[in-house]
Chain A
Amino acid sequence: MSFFSFGQSAEIDVVLNDAETRKKAEHKTEDGKKDKYFLFYDGETVSGKVNVTLKNPGKRLEHQGIKIEFIGQIELYYDRGNHHEFVSLVKDLARPGEMAQSQTFDFEFTHVEKPYESYTGQNVKLRYFLRATISRRLNDISKEMDIVVHTLSTYPELNSSIKMEVGIEDCLHIEFEYNKSKYHLKDVIVGKIYFLLVRIKIKHMEIDIIKRETTGTGTNVYHENDTIAKYEIMDGAPVRGESIPIRLFLAGYEMTPTMRDVNKKFSVRYYLNLVLIDEEERRYFKQQEITLWRKGDIVRKSMSHQAAIASQRFEGSASAEKALSQAKEDDN
C-alpha cells in the first residue's frame, strides 16, 4: 500500500500448477463458514507460480528479496501471538534488487511432509499455507494461500470389538457391545445393548457421539466437549433378556479423524456415550472412546506412486519397498 502517488507497489498472487486437476475439499473457517481449498496429502509435491504484477507501469519496484514459504502451523486461540510451526520450507525466488516489469516465478516444494490433518476447532487451529513475500524496507507485500491436508489410513490390522458389562449393583446391569473400536469416517457403528437386570423404570435410551478437544499441557489442560450427535435407540421400558440393536451411520455427521497429542499441543478424541433415562429424568451413562480414521478414496495411479516415493523418505526401507512395488502393481 502506498500513501504517496510516487513510488511503486505490486500485487502478488500464487497459482498452483495443477489447479485444474487437483481436488478441493470443504473446510470450516474459524467463524463457522465453509470454504473450499485445494486438497493435499502427505508426501505430495506442491508446485506452482508466483505472479508479481506491478501496479504503476513504467516505474521500478525496489525490494529486499522475493520468496515463497510452505508453512504448517498450530495456533492456540488463547495464545495467538505464538504460532508453532512444525513444517517450514522456503524457496528464494529473487535476490534483493529492482523489478522493471511484472514477472512470474516458478516454485516447487518436492514431496513435502504433511504429518497432520488440517483442523479448525474451538480453541486451536492447525493449518497449512503458502506465503509469497516481497520484502521491502518499510512494509512487505505478502499473500497467503491456505490449503487443506487430509491424513489417510488403511484398515487397521487389529480392530477388536468393544464389549463390556456395566451397571449399578442390584439395580441395572447391561452388557453393551460395539462391533469395532476403530471406525472410518463413513463407517457404521453396529452394536447391541443386552439387559441383564432392570430394576429401574427406563423411559428411553440414546447413544451420543461426543468430540473432546484438549488443549494445553500439565496443569493447564482444557477440555472442550461437544455433542456431535444424539441418536435414540430405544423408546420404552426393556426387561431382562432383551437386546436392543444399534446401527449408527457416521457419514451423516461432521467429524475429523482422531488426533492424539498433535505436536504435543492438542488432541481431538471421540467418545460414544450410552445414556439411559428413567421416568424421573435421571440419567445413567457409560462413555467409551472410539478411534476415527480417514479412509482414502481409490487412489489414482500418479498419486499412489508419489505417495510411495514419499514414504521411502520417511519410513523404514521394508515398508517403502512394499509400497513401491504395490504402486507399480497398481500402475499396471
Chain B
Amino acid sequence: MAEAIPDTRRLYTKPQNLNDAYGPPSNFLEIDVSNPETVGVGRNRFTTYEIRLKTNLPIFKLKESRVRRRYSDFEWLRGELERESKVVVPPLPGKALFRQLPFRGDDGIFDDSFIEERRQGLEQFLNKVAGHPLAQNERCLHIFLQEESMDKNYTPSKIRQA
C-alpha cells in the first residue's frame, strides 16, 4: 500500500533543434567604450569616447554602430532614463569637478590615468544599461548608441520591435 520510492523520472522534453543548440545565441550584445580623444584648445577642450556596438538583438536597428560621445552626453542619457523609465539607473563615474580647478600638478581632467578610469566606468555603465530589457525600450538609449548626432530635443517614446 505504501509506495516507498517516489517517481523522480524526468518529465518529457522535446529534443532541441540542432541549429538552436549550436547556432549563435540570440542574446549577442557587445559594447565597447574606447579611443578617448581630446578635441579643442585651451579652456574649450573636451574628451570624446568611441562607443562601438555589435549585436543581433532585433530591438536595435543597426547590428553594428560606431559613434563618439562625451561625458555630458552620458549625463543626458542617465537623466532621460531616470525620468522616462522605471529602471534603477546605475551611477556614472564621478564628475571630477575638483580636477577642473586651476593650479593642479597634473593634467586635471585630461590626465591619462583619469581618462582611463573614466573610460572603464563609462563602459561598465553602458553595459549595465544597454542589457536592461526595460531600458532597451527607451528611444533615448537608441539615440545615444546608434545615431550620429544626438537630438536632445527629441520626443521621449518607447520603442517596439524594429
Residues of A within 8 A of B (CB): 168, 170-172, 177, 179, 187-188, 190-192, 194, 197-202, 237, 239-243, 245, 247, 278-280, 282, 298
Query: Do B133 and A171 have beta carbons less than 8 Å apart?
Result: yes
Query: Do A239 and B20 have beta carbons less than 8 Å apart?
Result: yes
Q: Residue on A with the closest CB to B15?
A: A241
Q: Residue on A with the closest CB to B132?
A: A282
Query: Do B26 and A241 have beta carbons less than 8 Å apart?
Result: no
Measured between beta carbons, the chain B residues less than 8 angstroms from A188 are 6, 8
Measured between beta carbons, the chain A residues less than 8 angstroms from B7 are 190
- Interface centre among A187, A198, A239, A243, by most B CB within 10 Å? A239
**How far does the Cβ of B6 sit from chain A's closest Cβ, in whole Å?**
5
**How far does the Cβ of B90 sit from chain A's closest Cβ, in whole Å?**
9
Residues of B within 8 A of A (CB): 1-2, 6-11, 13-14, 16-17, 20-21, 23, 25-27, 29, 57-59, 127-128, 131-133, 136, 161
Measured between beta carbons, the chain B residues less than 8 angstroms from A278 are 131
**Subset of 19 A-B contacts with CB under 8 Å:** A170-B161, A171-B136, A177-B11, A179-B11, A188-B8, A192-B11, A199-B26, A237-B25, A239-B20, A240-B17, A241-B20, A241-B21, A242-B16, A245-B10, A245-B13, A247-B8, A247-B10, A279-B131, A298-B2
Given A197-B26, A279-B131: A170 and B59 interface contact (C-beta under 8 Å): yes
Bound state CA distance, A197 and B9, in angstroms? 26
20 further A-B pairs in the complex, CB-CB below 8 A; given A170-B59, A280-B131: A170-B58, A171-B133, A172-B133, A187-B6, A192-B13, A194-B14, A198-B26, A198-B27, A199-B57, A200-B27, A201-B27, A237-B25, A237-B27, A240-B20, A241-B14, A241-B21, A242-B21, A243-B13, A243-B16, A280-B127
The 8 residue pairs across chains A and B that have the minimum distance between CB atoms = A243-B13, A241-B16, A241-B20, A171-B133, A240-B20, A192-B11, A188-B6, A245-B10
Measured between beta carbons, the chain A residues less than 8 angstroms from B26 are 197-199, 239-240
Query: Do A190 and B10 have beta carbons less than 8 Å apart?
Result: yes
Measured between beta carbons, the chain B residues less than 8 angstroms from A192 are 10-11, 13
Bound state CA distance, A172 and B26, in angstroms? 10
Q: Residue on B with the closest CB to A170?
A: B161
Q: Residue on B with the closest CB to A244?
A: B13
**How far does the Cβ of B76 sit from chain A's closest Cβ, in whole Å?**
22
Q: Residue on A with the closest CB to B129?
A: A280
Measured between beta carbons, the chain B residues less than 8 angstroms from A279 are 131
Bound state CA distance, A280 and B23, in angstroms? 24
Query: Do A280 and B133 have beta carbons less than 8 Å apart?
Result: no
Query: Do B133 and A168 have beta carbons less than 8 Å apart?
Result: yes
Query: Do A191 and B27 have beta carbons less than 8 Å apart?
Result: no
Bound state CA distance, A131 and B99, in angstroms? 77
Measured between beta carbons, the chain B residues less than 8 angstroms from A168 are 133
Query: Do B9 and A190 have beta carbons less than 8 Å apart?
Result: yes
Given A198-B25, A198-B26: A243 and B14 interface contact (C-beta under 8 Å): yes
Query: Do B13 and A194 have beta carbons less than 8 Å apart?
Result: yes
Measured between beta carbons, the chain A residues less than 8 angstroms from B14 are 194, 241, 243
Measured between beta carbons, the chain A residues less than 8 angstroms from B1 are 298
Bound state CA distance, A170 and B26, in angstroms? 11
Measured between beta carbons, the chain B residues less than 8 angstroms from A198 are 25-27
Measured between beta carbons, the chain B residues less than 8 angstroms from A243 are 13-14, 16
Query: Do B25 and A239 have beta carbons less than 8 Å apart?
Result: yes
Measured between beta carbons, the chain A residues less than 8 angstroms from B127 are 280
Query: Do B21 and A239 have beta carbons less than 8 Å apart?
Result: yes
Measured between beta carbons, the chain A residues less than 8 angstroms from B25 are 198, 237, 239
Measured between beta carbons, the chain A residues less than 8 angstroms from B2 are 298
Given A168-B133, A241-B16, A242-B16: A199 and B8 interface contact (C-beta under 8 Å): no
Measured between beta carbons, the chain B residues less than 8 angstroms from A239 are 20-21, 23, 25-26
**How far does the Cβ of A283 sit from chain B's closest Cβ, in whole Å?**
12
Bound state CA distance, A194 and B13, in angstroms? 8
Q: Residue on A with the closest CB to B56?
A: A199
Bound state CA distance, A172 and B16, in angstroms? 17
Measured between beta carbons, the chain A residues less than 8 angstroms from B132 are 280, 282
- Interface centre among A179, A187, A237, by most B CB within 10 Å? A179
Measured between beta carbons, the chain A residues less than 8 angstroms from B161 are 170
Q: Residue on B with the closest CB to A245?
A: B10
Bound state CA distance, A60 and B16, in angstroms? 87
